[in-house]
Amino acid sequence: MTERLIDRKMSAKATGPPSLPRQAWNLASALAGFVADGCRTVTAEEYRRRLEVCDACGERRGDRCLKCGCRLSLKARGRAFRCPLGKWEEL
């Protein structure tokens, strides 16, 4: 609950990626999920579809997602990784 409130306040002001501590937390959480999922990756087609969604998203800046701070070329590969806005289809 508190975490959501902080995120909401931060996103209202945000014009760039999250703070470094937040990025570190996001990365650690995502990696824990990736390892728990057996380090499985998506198919080439799923990877392409994810990046197409990112292409049309206002949070994308180059290879970076401004919402979570992750590198999209890596994040889109892990089956357990999720779009922070829920825009990627569930696998």
Residue span binding ligand SF4 (CB under 6 A) among the ranges 5-13, 20-28, 30-38, 52-60: 52-60
Of 28, 26, 14, residue with least CA distance to 61 = 14
Query: Phi first, then psi: what are they for 60, rounded to 5°?
Result: -85, 130
Residue 30 as a binder of ligand SF4 (CB under 6 A): the answer is no
Q: Count residues near ligand SF4 (CB under 6 A).
A: 11
DSSP summary character for residue 41: B
Query: Phi first, then psi: what are they for 78, rounded to 5°?
Result: -80, 125
- Judged by CB under 6 A, the residue of 22, 57, 77, 79 near ligand SF4 is 57
Task: In whole angstroms, give the CA distance from residue 3 to residue 5.
Answer: 5
Residue span binding ligand SF4 (CB under 6 A) among the ranges 1-9, 18-26, 30-38, 53-61: 53-61
Q: How many CB atoms lie within 10 A of CB 84?
A: 20
Rank residues 49 and 60 by Cβ distance to ligand SF4 and give the closer one. 60
Q: Which residues bind ligand SF4 (CB under 6 A)?
A: 53-54, 57, 59-60, 65, 67, 83-85, 87
